[in-house]
Chains A and B, each alone.
Chain A
Amino acid sequence: MTSKIINMAERLKDAEDRLLESMFRSEPIADAGFSRRVVARIRRRIWLRRLALPVAMIVGGAVAIKPASELALAATKLLTVIPLGMFDVPAAWMPQMQTVILGAMLLVVGMLGMRMIED
């Protein structure tokens, strides 16, 4: 009830309100490519966001490749120190190194692909 009274009071405009409305009124502004420009900016931003992660991964990978390879080399050297009998696993159980690398690469590519599709 109270809100109805408030709304009614709001609608009851006096001459002063009508004068102010006429003074504030202005002609509609033509779009003239405005919406097209904004949508283009939004699309550009979407693409930049989509590219940001893969690009960051590539750059990060490029930067990290040298220390990572040195780390891997140090790890392999460490493995030679460990007694051979410690991991007495039949060779047939272990997959080939090439298969492991290929699998890892496929996994990374698959994850990136999934992310692109999701986006």
Chain B
Amino acid sequence: MKAEDQYLVALAVGSQDTTAFGELIRRHQSQIRNFLRKLTGDFSAADDLAQDCFLHAWDKLQTFSGRGSFIGWLLKVAYTTFLQAKRKSKRYAEVLDEAGHVAQIESRSYTQDSVEASDLDKLLAVLTQEERAIMIMSYACGLSHREIGEATGLPVGTVKSVIFRGKEKIRTSFDIKDHQHG
């Protein structure tokens, strides 16, 4: 039987059990790395950030209250790590601002076809950093509006309006109405 995340967190906090924390990393690394890969558009930078995210999570593990989901809390740490890294390093700013989140298709290893990967990158390029993060949390990670609010520190109403604005931008930039009905 798989132990609950909360139980593993309690083990990791209570007895500094790195094995329990390792299990938590194994469970959630895919979602965190996917989130950061979509957010940065740079696979190696995203994986470096994911490592830093889990190190920060280890340091702050005792602050996890257990009220929300553990993945929601981890995504909050990942987003904070991303923002801190972006502030500190010019590299991330260049990746996002200059490239405008243009896909590095060659270096990517999507199992889906390249057209779909390219579509997503083009789609993300029209969004601001905040919109991008919130849209990814909502549509890629499946977080509720409340969980996104907790992760980003924004009120639920703001989260909803950011999603609405993001969808509006995508709608005006791409003709997705055709896809809606067929």
A residues contacting B by CB (< 8 A) are 6-7, 10, 15-17, 19-21, 23-31, 34-39, 41-43, 45-46
Contact = CB atoms under 8 A, between A and B. Distances in A.
A interface, over-half SS? helix
A90 B32 CA distance: 73
B interface, over-half SS? helix
16 contacts: A6-B145, A6-B156, A15-B181, A16-B167, A16-B171, A21-B139, A24-B135, A24-B139, A25-B140, A26-B112, A35-B22, A37-B51, A38-B55, A41-B55, A46-B16, A46-B18
Tier of interface size on chain B: 35 or more
A20 B140 CA distance: 9
Contacts of A6: 145, 156
A38 B180 contact: no
Contacts of B58: 42
Nearest to A35: B25
A19 B47 contact: no
Contacts, number: 83
B167 A34 contact: no
Contacts of B136: 24
Contact of A29 (B25, B29, B51, B139): B29
B33 A29 contact: yes
A7 B47 CA distance: 33
A37 B123 CA distance: 33
